Amino acid sequence: MMDRITELGHRFAQIESAIRDAEADGNRRSDSVRLLAVSKTKPASDVEALFRLGQKQFGENYMQEAIDKIHALRDLDIEWHYIGHIQSNKTKILANEFDWVHTIEREKIARRLNEARTGSPLNVLIQVNVDLSETKSGVALDDVNLLANAIWRLPNLRLRGLMSIPDPVSEDELKRAHQKLKSLFDQLKHDHPVPEIFDTLSMGMTNDLKLAVIEGSTMVRVGTALFGARPPKDTV
């Protein structure tokens, strides 16, 4: 029976290979897509094992669980990304424990993060509700420009791009959703005061990784294929 570190190494190699293959299929530059390892519900030992295999970026959804891991692994040079729902009363902790926040959908939250952040600017993404799903968080496509303009004026935040979590629909519908987000990303990059730092399009998870990369993703969020199955409610 395979031990846990060997299993994680095998899974990690498979995902990295899948990303490189998708880059080639999409005529993308090799290594243009980053892997965000979604480690929610998984122990700090799994995070440390993957870090030592070469994975540096980890995404967490649940605040207290994430903080426990961040503190336990403080000596490792891990880049921590928050990809869960943001509660207003948690913004101070969020602003100073994480390197990235992916789920900004309100100016109020952006302002609170900006006020709380100390040190270098916090990297942030705007979460976009591409298909206007009532079950998903995020800003409607038509409202993203307004929020982006507000964030650009906040000195302690650095707007790096967009993220989305489309509904699990048909491949054609997913493709259209990814194309909409890529089109908006390109338009915002053109308008960005410093275009070179607007460089992150976070779309694609375990089940639509290849499609997302072909359609322009620069960061894929993978949990299940990397760490193994979670309870049914977790599908990242």
What does the pLDDT profile of the chain (236 residues) look like in tens digits?
569 999 999 999 999 999 999 999 999 999 999 999 999 999 999 999 999 999 999 999 999 999 999 999 999 999 999 999 999 999 999 999 999 999 999 999 999 999 999 999 999 999 999 976 666 789 999 999 999 999 999 999 999 999 998 777 788 888 999 999 999 999 999 988 888 999 999 999 988 999 999 999 999 999 999 999 876 655 45
CA-closest candidate to residue 61, choices 4, 127, 149: 127
CA angle 195, 199, 204 (to 5 degrees): 150
The three-class DSSP label of residue 48 is helix
DSSP secondary structure, 189-230, as one string:
HHH-SSGGG--EEE---GGGHHHHHHTT-SEEEE-HHHH---
What is the sign of the dihedral through the CA atoms of 16, 97, 199 and 148? positive
The structural domains of the chain, ordered by start, are 4-226 (3.20.20.10)
